[in-house]
Amino acid sequence: MKNKVIIILSIVFGLLTSYLIYDYLTKVEQSMTNMQYGEVVVAAGDVTGKTLLTAEMLEIKKMPVDYIHPQAARKKEEVTGSITLAPLTQGEQVLKKKIAKQSDMKNGLAYIVPVGKRALTLAVDEVSGIAGLIKPGDHVDVVATVNIPDPSGLKETPHSLVVLQDLQVLAVGRTLDDKGDGKSTVENKTVTVAVTVEQSRPLVLASQKGTIRLMLRSPVDTGVVNTTPYRAANFLQ
């Protein structure tokens, strides 16, 4: 008799346990069915800091909206071409606070330098710097005047030449944006431009061995003009 009671109780407890498990799984399934899902951008693999994000480094993942971070990017286009400020691990949501757009000036000059270019600062004055009216985002040509020795090496003749054309202005003084009042200030004694490594050499040489002036370009003029060095004797021609 005692064994029968134990068997019956075991069956009852087994059935009760099965029911509780079934009821729990049913509620979980209903909860998952009613749960809203959304898409979020995650890292396709581990990404180190200060890395330019490409589409191949990212993937779209579906997950419950309750688990999507408010600052997470929802489309690849939102973050492609940005630079990581901190490392990302595989599967990690890409948060906007962890990346910097190349045009995002709040992160400093380094993040607005175009890929493949370098930032080079030139000393200017009221005249050579277009009366301080140049703004970040403008484009300029650089004219240099340097003394070039004649074939004998006994005499130097000043030559003016257009060293570089259509350079992007990254900063004026310590200003990285174009929201200034347009007035010349004491700080506007430098202009920082974007150049390639090859372009930096003649520009540095010209600024060290001669004088330079900037010519402000129209925002719609991107043409390059072929010029030859100009010297004083050309005035008589």
Q: What is the CATH number of the domain that holds 97?
A: 3.90.1210.10
Q: How confident is the model at residue 83 (pLDDT cuts 50, 70, 90)?
A: confident
Which of 108-117, 149-158, 204-213 holds the top average pLDDT? 204-213
* Residues 127 and 41 both lie in one domain: no
Distance from C-alpha of 189 to C-alpha of 169, rounded to nearest angstrom: 14
The domain boundary residue, chosen from 45, 66, 101: 101
Domain count, the chain: 2
pLDDT at residue 15, rounded to an integer: 74
Mean pLDDT of all residues belonging to the chain? 82
Two tokens at 73? 């990017």
Residues forming a β-bridge with 168 = 139, 194
In a domain, 192, yes or no: yes
In a domain, 14, yes or no: no
> Is residue 57 scored above 80 in pLDDT?
yes
pLDDT at residue 54, rounded to an integer: 92
* Residues 88 and 138 both lie in one domain: no
In a domain, 153, yes or no: yes
Q: Which domain holds residue 135?
A: 109-232
In a domain, 43, yes or no: yes
Say which residue, 151 or 188, is predicted with more confidence: 151
53 and 83 Cβ atoms separated by less than 8 Å:
yes
In a domain, 28, yes or no: no
Element counts in the chain: helices (H) and strands (E): 2, 10
* Residues 114 and 216 both lie in one domain: yes
Distance from C-alpha of 84 to C-alpha of 112, rounded to nearest angstrom: 14
Q: How many angstroms separate the Cα of 192 from the Cα of each of 19, 91, 189?
A: 74, 39, 10
* Residues 64 and 146 both lie in one domain: no
Distance from C-alpha of 75 to C-alpha of 235, rounded to nearest angstrom: 61
76 and 51 Cβ atoms separated by less than 8 Å:
no
